[in-house]
Amino acid sequence: MFRSYQSVQKEDATKSSVWGAVFGVASIISPVLLGCAFGVITEGQIRLSADGEVTLTGKAPWLSPYCVTNGLLALSTCAYLAAVYLTNETEGELRNDFRARAILAGTTTAVLAALVLLFAWQEAEWFFMRLFTWRTLPVVLAGLACFAGSAWSVFTHRYALSRLFATSEIALVLVGWGLAQYPYLVYPDMLVTEMAAPTSTLRFMVLSIPVGALLLAPSLWLLMRVFKARPAGADLPRT
């Protein structure tokens, strides 16, 4: 939406390119930091003492090979998902360009995922072993199957199917992460049960979420409809 606003305002080319660069850098930093944070949490580098003091096991634990690779994996995954989605929103040569980007990002994602598993085995063994338990392994395998299905769909130009597989893959990755990390919120000192809010707060949240969803869903539908609509005469050229 921010990029669309910049375009509508018809600013000069220099200012638009500056804001485009800012938007691009921010889009890179966010997933990288998210992946590094995931690495620090699962590596056990954040400790909580009995008196509530939070400490780090090293000076810069988020710069370990495991954490950095997790950051790069998160970035590559976001790039792959964006490219897959944009193949569904474009046509002609532009679609072919995003298809090529999806293939490149998908290949990078597969390589980085293998490296993450290797570094997890070395630096976060507890988490690595939990990925292969009876509770987590079926979800992990289903995620891999969806990734393979998405890649096959991109190669064979089945773009709607590739989007379905890609979104399913991300959902399964998040579910698998949660199953592997449970019961820890932050390994090894913070359990989910110990960090939970009071029962009255949880009850209020559970009861209020459906009401909020009923109010929010129509607004999101209208938002997507407005921003996905093409102005008259602005159809993309077919090639």
Structure tokens at 159: 């773009």
How many other CB atoms are there within 10 angstroms of residue 76's CB atom?
Answer: 22
pLDDT (0 to 100) of residue 230: 66
pLDDT (0 to 100) of residue 56: 85
Distance CA 103, CA 69 (A): 20
**pLDDT tens per residue, the chain (239 residues)?**
445 444 444 455 555 677 778 888 888 999 999 999 999 999 988 888 878 788 888 788 889 999 999 999 999 999 999 999 999 988 899 999 999 999 999 999 999 999 999 999 999 999 999 999 999 999 999 999 999 999 999 999 999 999 999 999 999 999 999 999 999 988 988 888 888 888 899 899 999 999 999 989 998 888 888 877 765 555 554 44
pLDDT (0 to 100) of residue 233: 55
pLDDT (0 to 100) of residue 93: 93
Distance CA 41, CA 64 (A): 12
pLDDT (0 to 100) of residue 231: 59
The candidate with the shortest Cα–Cα distance to 79, out of 106, 52, 54, 53, is: 106
Contact 3, 20 (CB under 8 A): yes
pLDDT (0 to 100) of residue 16: 60
Q: Where are the alpha helices (DSSP H) in 124-198?
A: 125-130, 137-155, 159-181, 192-195
Q: Which residues of 23-39 are buried (b: 16+ CB within 10 A; e: fewer)?
A: eeeeeeeebbeebbbbb
User: What are the residue boundaries of the structural domains of the chain, listed by start?
Assistant: 2-223
Contact 68, 125 (CB under 8 A): no
pLDDT (0 to 100) of residue 237: 47
pLDDT (0 to 100) of residue 12: 54
The candidate with the shortest Cα–Cα distance to 78, out of 126, 117, 28, 26, is: 28
Q: Which residue has the tokens 């991300």?
A: 170
Residue 97, amino acid? D
Question: What's the pTM value of the predicted model, to 2 decimals?
Answer: 0.81
Distance CA 172, CA 165 (A): 10
How many other CB atoms are there within 10 angstroms of residue 73's CB atom?
Answer: 24
